[in-house]
C-alpha cells in the first residue's frame, strides 16, 4: 500500500479532511511532494508547525502550480471561487478532485472553471469526526471507510462505465492506497443517499440540541446533568463545524427537503402511535431499527462496543 502515485499533490484547505489526507499520503509515500494551502495565516502557520505538508503555500495558485493531483478540501461553498482562482495554473493532464459532502452543487460550481485537458473527478470520503482544523487530522481517518467517486456525466447506469476511464481508475487507486474502499455513483444519487444517512441526522441533532438549550433555563441545567440519556450523542454530532454544515444544507437543499418531508410524515405517525397507545406499532418500528443497527455492525461500519462514539477516534459522521 505504498509508492509514489503523483509527483505533486496540492491540498486546498487544511482542516480535518485536508490534514488527514496529507497524513495518509505521507503514510503511504504516495506523493513526491505535498503542497498545502489554507485561507488564514493562523492555519498556515499551524500546518507548517505540524509538518504534514512538504510546503505550505500562501496562495492556492502557488500550491497548485505543477501539481498532477489537486484536492479541494475547504467547505463546499468555497469551491467555485477556489476553482476559478487555480484554473489558469492547472497543469495539462492534472486531476482535480474534492472531498466535499455534496456533489451536484460542486459539479455545478467547479466544472465551468476546469480547462480542457484537465480532468475533474468529484469525490467524497465518507469519513469524519466532529473535530475540525489542522490539529484534528490523522492518517487512519479513511481506513476501512467508503470513498464515493461521482465521475461527471454519470447516470446510475453508466457510473461503472465511467469508472473505467484512466483518470478515474487512478484516483480510485489513490483512495484505496489511502485506506478506503471505493464506490461510484452519479452526483444526484449521492446527494439523496447522503441526505438521509448524514445530512438529516445532523439537522435533527442541531435541532434537538437547540430545543434543549432553549429549555435549559427552565430546567436549571438538568439537560447537561442528565445528558447521558441519549442527548449526549446528539451533542457530539451537533458540535460539528458550523461553516461546513451551513454550506452542506445550502448546497443540498432539494434532497434534504425531500428527506425532511418523509421524516416529518413518519414522525407524525409515531406521534399518533404514542397518542393512541399503539404499542405494537412502536415495537415493530423499534425492532426494525435495531436490525438496521445490527446490519451496520455486521458490515464492519461501526463497533458494538457499548459506549461507541465517545472513545473511538474515526467515525462515520459524514
Tell me which of 26, 27, 39, 253 binds ligand NAP, using CB under 6 A: 39
Closest CA to 24 of 42, 40, 6, 39: 6
Per DSSP, helices labelled H in the chain are: 16-28, 41-50, 60-64, 79-86, 104-110, 159-162, 166-177, 187-194, 200-219, 222-225, 231-237, 242-251, 253-275, 279-298
Stretch that binds ligand NAP, among 88-96, 99-107, 174-182, 265-273 (CB under 6 A): 99-107
Angle (CA) 44-247-176 rounded to 5° is 65
16 near ligand NAP, judged by CB under 6 A = yes
180 near ligand NAP, judged by CB under 6 A = no
Least distance from ligand NAP to the Cβ atom of residue 44, Å: 7
Q: What is the DSSP letter of 303?
A: -
Going by C-beta distance under 8 Å and a sequence separation of 6 or more, which residues neighbour residue 105? 76, 251, 252
Tell me which of 28, 100, 179, 187 binds ligand NAP, using CB under 6 A: 100
Phi and psi, residue 81, nearest 5°: -65, -40
Tell me which of 2, 3, 40, 228 binds ligand NAP, using CB under 6 A: 40
Stretch that binds ligand NAP, among 74-82, 109-117, 150-158, 275-283 (CB under 6 A): 74-82
Q: Which of residues 50-69 bind ligand NAP (CB under 6 A)?
A: none
* C-alpha distances out from residue 129 to 58, 100, 126, 140, 159, Å: 27, 14, 10, 12, 28
Stretch that binds ligand NAP, among 11-19, 207-215, 226-234, 264-272 (CB under 6 A): 11-19
110 near ligand NAP, judged by CB under 6 A = no
36 near ligand NAP, judged by CB under 6 A = no
Going by C-beta distance under 8 Å and a sequence separation of 6 or more, which residues neighbour residue 42? none
All cell numbers assigned to 146: 467508503
For residues 76 and 256, which CB has a smaller minimum distance to ligand NAP in the complex?
76
Tell me which of 8, 10, 15, 22 binds ligand NAP, using CB under 6 A: 15
Stretch that binds ligand NAP, among 96-104, 112-120, 167-175, 249-257 (CB under 6 A): 96-104
Q: Which of residues 190-249 bind ligand NAP (CB under 6 A)?
A: 241, 244, 248
Please count the other Cβ atoms lying within 10 Å of the Cβ belonging to residue 147: 23
132 near ligand NAP, judged by CB under 6 A = yes
Least distance from ligand NAP to the Cβ atom of residue 126, Å: 7
For residues 145 and 189, which CB has a smaller minimum distance to ligand NAP in the complex?
145
CA 266/CA 256 separation, integer angstroms: 15
Binding site for ligand NAP (CB under 6 A): 13-18, 38-40, 43, 73-76, 78, 82, 99-101, 125, 128, 132-133, 241, 244, 248, 317-318
Amino acid at each position: 500500500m505504498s509508492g509514489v502515485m503523483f509527483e505533486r499533490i496540492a491540498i486546498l484547505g487544511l482542516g480535518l479532511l485536508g490534514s488527514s489526507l496529507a497524513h495518509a499520503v505521507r503514510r503511504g509515500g504516495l506523493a513526491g511532494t505535498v503542497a498545502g494551502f489554507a485561507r488564514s495565516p493562523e492555519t498556515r502557520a499551524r500546518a507548517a508547525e505540524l509538518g504534514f505538508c512538504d510546503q505550505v503555500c500562501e496562495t492556492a495558485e502557488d500550491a497548485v502550480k505543477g501539481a498532477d493531483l489537486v484536492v479541494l478540501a475547504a467547505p463546499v461553498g468555497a469551491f467555485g471561487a477556489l476553482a476559478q482562482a487555480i484554473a489558469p495554473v492547472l497543469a495539462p493532464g492534472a486531476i482535480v478532485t474534492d472531498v466535499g459532502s455534496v456533489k451536484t452543487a460542486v459539479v455545478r460550481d467547479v466544472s465551468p472553471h476546469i480547462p480542457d485537458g484537465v480532468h475533474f473527478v468529484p469525490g467524497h470520503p465518507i469519513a469524519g469526526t466532529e473535530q475540525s482544523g489542522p490539529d484534528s487530522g490523522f492518517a487512519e481517518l479513511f481506513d476501512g471507510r467508503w470513498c464515493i467517486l461521482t465521475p461527471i456525466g454519470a447516470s446510475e447506469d453508466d457510473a461503472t462505465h465511467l469508472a473505467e476511464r484512466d483518470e478515474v481508475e487512478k484516483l480510485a487507486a489513490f483512495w484505496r492506497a489511502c485506506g478506503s474502499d471505493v464506490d461510484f455513483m452519479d452526483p444526484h444519487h449521492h446527494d439523496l443517499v447522503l441526505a438521509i444517512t448524514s445530512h438529516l441526522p445532523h439537522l435533527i441533532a442541531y435541532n434537538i440540541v437547540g430545543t434543549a438549550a432553549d429549555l435549559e433555563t427552565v430546567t436549571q441545567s438538568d439537560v447537561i446533568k442528565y445528558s447521558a440519556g441519549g442527548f449526549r450523542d446528539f451533542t457530539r454530532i451537533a458540535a460539528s463545524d458550523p461553516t461546513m454544515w451551513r454550506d452542506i444544507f445550502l448546497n443540498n437543499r432539494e434532497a434534504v427537503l425531500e428527506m425532511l418531508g418523509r421524516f416529518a410524515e413518519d414522525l407524525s405517525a409515531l406521534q399518533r402511535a404514542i397518542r393512541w397507545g399503539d404499542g405494537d406499532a412502536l415495537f415493530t418500528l423499534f425492532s426494525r431499527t435495531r436490525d438496521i443497527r445490527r446490519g451496520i455492525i455486521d458490515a464492519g461500519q461501526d463497533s458494538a462496543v457499548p459506549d461507541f462514539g465517545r472513545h473511538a477516534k474515526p467515525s462515520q459522521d459524514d
